[in-house]
Amino acid sequence: GENVEQHPSTLSVQEGDSAVIKCTYSDSASNYFPWYKQELGKRPQLIIDIRSNVGEKKDQRIAVTLNKTAKHFSLHITETQPEDSAVYFCAARTGNTGKLIFGQGTTLQVKP
Amino acid sequence: NAGVMQNPRHLVRRRGQEARLRCSPMKGHSHVYWYRQLPEEGLKFMVYLQKENIIDESGMPKERFSAEFPKEGPSILRIQQVVRGDSAAYFCASSPPGREGEKLFFGSGTQLSVL
């Protein structure tokens, strides 16, 4: 069935380092891949997304890459700051009804 | 433009009672999604609705759970005869029609606690 796997489940980096989170998806018809950031007790917020017709997208310190052949996509955060600490979720839009299926989440801790 | 509004923010129910969770989508949005989140877990899809129509309910438990999105008024997620395992945060999201309909905007969630 439709599934999204996300790794790692936790990630700790020093301030200023880069962080990479990886996801794989099962539905080959998926065509839209967003990333959400959720701070403790808050709502998930969209931070960046990519459609299947491009391989990479950048927005300041964050970037997302997509490999459709391998069915995986990654989030890259450069020059991490303490305020980047949160749970990050990847998601894939299914090809049939268009719902978003989410990964299990990655808890990112940026140590000052 | 107000965001997605969910109420109540916190709901306490005793086992066997009914829980009703409300979601008002953003203005102009015609699609509503419900997700459940257990502590330190991901967002589990429950149901996807358009006005007066259920598009995908593949994530809804077969019993006790139902959802609607009427022509007028908010979307309602209803849980009958709640059990302790229903305790979770329930998030609603909405999206606009058309190409931008891929982007989901989430509400602040309802934290359901079953005693």
For strands A100-102 and A62-67, give the pairing. Answer: unpaired
pLDDT category, B18, cuts 50, 70, 90? very high
The stretch B59-87 carries a mean pLDDT of 95
Q: Which of B14-23, B32-41, B91-100 is modeled with the greatest confidence?
A: B14-23
The stretch B86-108 carries a mean pLDDT of 90
pLDDT category, A1, cuts 50, 70, 90? low
Task: Examine residue B97 and say whether the peptide bond preceding it is cis (omega within 30 degrees of 0).
Answer: no
DSSP string, B17-54: --EEEEEEPPTT--EEEEEEE-TT--EEEEEEEETTEE
DSSP tag of B102: G
Q: Which chain A residues are within 8 Å of B107, Cβ to Cβ?
A: 43
Q: Per-residue pLDDT for B1 more than 70?
A: no
Summarize pLDDT for B23-57 with one digit per residue, the tens: 999 998 989 999 999 887 889 999 999 988 999 99
Interface of B with A in 25-44 (CB under 8 A): 33, 35, 40-44
* Nearest by Cα to A90 from A27, A47, A31: A47
Summarize pLDDT for A22-81 with one digit per residue, the tens: 999 999 889 999 999 999 989 999 999 999 888 899 999 999 999 999 999 999 999 999
Q: Which chain B residues are within 8 Å of A47, Cβ to Cβ?
A: none
Summarize pLDDT for A3-13 with one digit per residue, the tens: 999 999 999 99
pLDDT score, position B85: 93
Q: Which of A42, A51, A105 sits opposite B42 (nearest CB)?
A: A105
DSSP string, B75-94: EEEEE-S--GGG-EEEEEEE
Work out the end-to-end distance of chain A between its first and last CA atoms, rounded to an integer number of angstroms.
Answer: 41
Q: Which of A49, A96, A99 sits opposite B33 (nearest CB)?
A: A99
Mean pLDDT of chain B: 93
Residue of B nearest to A32 (CA): B102
Task: Kindly provide the b/e burial profile for residues A14-39, where b requires at least 16 CB atoms within 10 angstroms of the residue's own CB.
Answer: eeeeebbbbbbbebeebbbbbbbbbe
pLDDT category, A94, cuts 50, 70, 90? confident
Q: Which chain B residues are within 8 Å of A92, Cβ to Cβ?
A: none
Q: Which residues pair with B62 in a beta bridge?
A: none
Q: Which of B43, B103, B109 sits opposite A49 (nearest CB)?
A: B103
pLDDT category, B111, cuts 50, 70, 90? very high
* Interchain contact, B91 vs A103, CB within 8 Å: no
The stretch A93-107 carries a mean pLDDT of 90
Give the span between the Cα atoms of A17 and A80, in whole angstroms. Answer: 6
B41 vs A108, residue with greater confidence? A108
